[in-house]
Amino acid sequence: MATRGGNQLRGMMDEGQVRRRSRFAFFVEIYSELAKVTWPDRQTTFRLAMLVIGVAVTMGVLLGLVWDTVLTTAVDRLLLNR
C-alpha cells in the first residue's frame, strides 16, 4: 500500500479503498445487523434487569453509608484531631 507523507489512512483514501456510503445505506446496515442479534426472552431480560438494579442498590448503600462513614471518621480523626 502506497503511503504519501507517512499517513497510511490518506494513502488508502487516495487508492480508493475507503468509500463513502450514503446515510440511507448506513441505516440499512444497522437494521440488518440488529436483525442478526439473538435477543434474550422476556424472563431473562427481567432477571438480568433485577440483578443490575440489585447490584446498583447494594453498591449505593455500601458507598453511601458505609464508605462515607469510614471516610468521615478518618478525616475527623486524622485531619481535624477530634
| 1-20 average pLDDT score | 55
Say how far apart CA 68 and CA 10 lie, in whole Å. Answer: 52
Q: What amino acid occupies position 54?
A: G
Tell whether the model's pLDDT for residue 3 goes beyond 90: no
Residue 76 burial (CB count, 10 A) = 11
Grid cell 499517513 is found at 7
Q: Cα separation of 7 and 47, whole Å?
A: 49
**What pTM did the predictor assign?**
0.52
- Whether the CB-CB separation of 22 and 30 falls below 8 Å is answered with no
Is the pLDDT score of 2 beyond 70?
no
Evaluate if residue 21 carries a pLDDT over 70. no
Using one digit for the tens of pLDDT, what is the confidence trace for 35-54? 999 999 999 999 999 999 99
